[in-house]
A and B are shown apart, each in its own frame.
Chain A
Amino acid sequence: MSYTIAEKILLRHTDKKTIAPGDFIWANVDFCLGNDITAPLAIDEFKRLNLNKVFNPDKIALIPDHFTPAKDFRAANAVNVLKNFAKEYKIKHYYEIGRMGIEHALLPELGLVGSGDLIIGADSHTCTYGALGAFATGVGSTDLGATLATGKVWLRVPESIKFIYKGKLNKWVSGKDLILYTISDIGVDGASYMAMEFCGEVISNLTMEERFPISNMAIEAGGKAGIIAPDEITVRYLKSTKWPRLKQLKGLFSDSDARYSKIKEYDCSKWEPAVACPHLPSNLKPVSKLKNIKIDQVVIGSCTNGYLSDLRIAAKIIKGKKVNPDVRLIVIPATQKIYLNALKEGLAEIFVKAGAVFSTPTCGPCLGGHMGILDKGEVALATTNRNFLGRMGHPESFVYLSNPAIAAASSIKGRIAHPDEVL
């Protein structure tokens, strides 16, 4: 039998001999996670089973990242639900503010997830770890509750779509643009129920921090997983995080005659940096067509683009300039480690001197939680992943999505701007 990488990973996690798209499997997970929004419901469901232990206290992460530092007393209570559960069931990976990060940036950084793993998370952007060659997918709270008890999850084996990226990315075109172009091509349900597999020379040349946003936004096309087969860059990254299961990389690639429901090829050399307009991530326009869009707020952060390299690019553009008087710039490193590195490298100082907010790690405004909610009629440009109606605040506010370079340049100009306009 020949298999795609997605099928191979799933097969390895069942007791079956063969596997095919459409099969239902009851699969063993290597790692699972929940956050301050989804885990309290999962814990309630888990408790209905009256068990005195979880399947494995070392393979669970509970991360209070959405409404933290607690934005109100209900949020504080949710954090305590996680904290107390972690204590009671000896769950190793609970990370308090001041030591945490946005879950999807934190888990790879801590070396908890890697190639060939099957990971489920009660958060739709769990697909981020696909960038490391994992089969990682978002589920609901009840699913997580069941996994906490059993270490297993039910999955339908998905068909795969292969995306091949050829050519060379132009200046200021990043991994973020690549996934935005893909979503705009196939639509927000273009990969529903399917595993997306990203490959080609363009992907091979990207760093891990440029690959994460690609897999991260697979869900924005409805994808079940967004996988990049591991290569030397992946291995180097995994070694740097001391991820312990490197043996799993053996044979971890799609067979040359594996079956795909679709194969898509893109010539990336033609792309210019782009922006997704309200209210869908697929509503993409080249930045040059949007230069008259005035903005009130810029957010640089999230599990999509809150990495150190994102902050470096933004700082390079902003250095020595001032944030436009009509704009609020909010910069949020994705993890405590990135935060510290941004301090050490002087990036924080560049942002603060320019008149920006520099925040502790949190999801915050990305989901309209706190730390920068939009008023009626306001417009934001964000490096986040969703621009749905009301996502960042008032139902009549507007969110545009872009890479960090465009976001930084726009914060200086007070309107959507190309990085070359300010550098």
Chain B
Amino acid sequence: MIIKGKVHKFGDNINTDEIIASRYLNLTSPKELGAHVMETLDKDFSKKVLSGDIIVAGSNFGCGSSREHAPLAIKGAGIACVVAESFARIFYRNALNIGLPILEIKDTKKIETGDLLEIDLVIGKIKDLSNNLTFKASALPEFMRSIISAGGLISWLKKTNK
């Protein structure tokens, strides 16, 4: 699967309070949540996102609270993939479990807001078409790939009769 979209760049340690503030946690629909994604850091963020865009961040993306509303808000806003140097543990599971593609690459410093990225999710290759760079994402462990290809944890349970 190929994703092509514009980059929205964030720094290190972006926490889930910043991704979706607590005051919106009484919402559950991805669309409604998406309207407030990243609002604490940039109050017009959701208006700037076009469907298929990509978030690129530094290390420890999604740290803090376990709220699954965070990846849901990102997905609901139309973001197709998150690329970071590393993800916080619970965010990582949540993204996998709800089917939000995430990729880890060693260094995201050269990727900037507005760059056009082309991502091949199957082989984990990322091309920055704006400045002609390529990156290789770390491969997902087989267990996690099986959850993704099933379409998330609940579908995986159904499929595997666990």
Binding site for B on A (CB under 8 A): 24, 26, 37-38, 40-41, 44-45, 48-49, 66-67, 72, 74-75, 77-78, 122-124, 126, 138-143, 145-146, 149-150, 152, 154, 156, 188-189, 192-193, 219, 222, 224, 280, 367-369, 386, 388-391, 395
Binding site for A on B (CB under 8 A): 13, 15, 17-18, 21-23, 25-28, 39-41, 43, 59-60, 63-69, 72, 86, 88-90, 93-94, 97-98, 141, 143, 147, 152-154, 157-158, 162
Distance (whole angstroms) from the CB of B21 to the closest CB of chain A: 6
Contact across chains for B86 and A189 when beta carbons are under 8 A apart: yes
Contact across chains for A389 and B17 when beta carbons are under 8 A apart: yes
Q: List 20 additional contacts besides A154-B143, A395-B21; criterion CB under 8 Å.
A: A37-B69, A40-B28, A41-B28, A41-B72, A66-B25, A67-B25, A67-B26, A140-B67, A140-B98, A142-B152, A143-B153, A145-B153, A146-B154, A219-B64, A368-B23, A369-B23, A389-B15, A389-B40, A390-B18, A390-B40
With most chain A CB atoms within 10 A of its CB, the pick from B22, B40, B64, B98 is B22
Contact across chains for A143 and B18 when beta carbons are under 8 A apart: no
Q: Which residue of A lies closest to B42 (CB)?
A: A395
Residues in chain B near residue A67, CB distance under 8 A: 25-26
A45→B22 CA distance, assembly (Å)? 21
With most chain B CB atoms within 10 A of its CB, the pick from A24, A189, A224 is A189
Q: Which residue of B lies closest to A40 (CB)?
A: B28
A123→B141 CA distance, assembly (Å)? 25
A369→B88 CA distance, assembly (Å)? 23
Q: Which residue of A lies closest to B141 (CB)?
A: A24
Q: 10 nearest interchain CB pairs?
A: A140-B94, A74-B26, A142-B97, A189-B60, A124-B66, A24-B143, A140-B68, A390-B40, A141-B68, A367-B22
Contact across chains for B18 and A142 when beta carbons are under 8 A apart: no
Residues in chain A near residue B69, CB distance under 8 A: 37, 41
Residues in chain B near residue A44, CB distance under 8 A: 28
Q: Which residue of A lies closest to B27 (CB)?
A: A74
Contact across chains for A78 and B66 when beta carbons are under 8 A apart: no
Distance (whole angstroms) from the CB of A24 to the closest CB of chain B: 4
Contact across chains for B13 and A188 when beta carbons are under 8 A apart: yes
Residues in chain B near residue A74, CB distance under 8 A: 26-27
Distance (whole angstroms) from the CB of A394 to the closest CB of chain B: 9
Contacts A140-B68, A369-B22 given: A386-B94 contact, CB under 8 Å?
no
**Can you offer 30 A-B residue contacts whose CB atoms are under 8 A?**
A38-B67, A41-B28, A48-B154, A49-B154, A74-B27, A124-B66, A140-B97, A140-B98, A141-B94, A142-B97, A145-B154, A146-B154, A150-B162, A152-B162, A154-B147, A154-B153, A188-B13, A188-B60, A189-B59, A189-B60, A219-B64, A222-B88, A222-B89, A280-B13, A367-B17, A367-B22, A368-B17, A389-B15, A390-B40, A395-B39
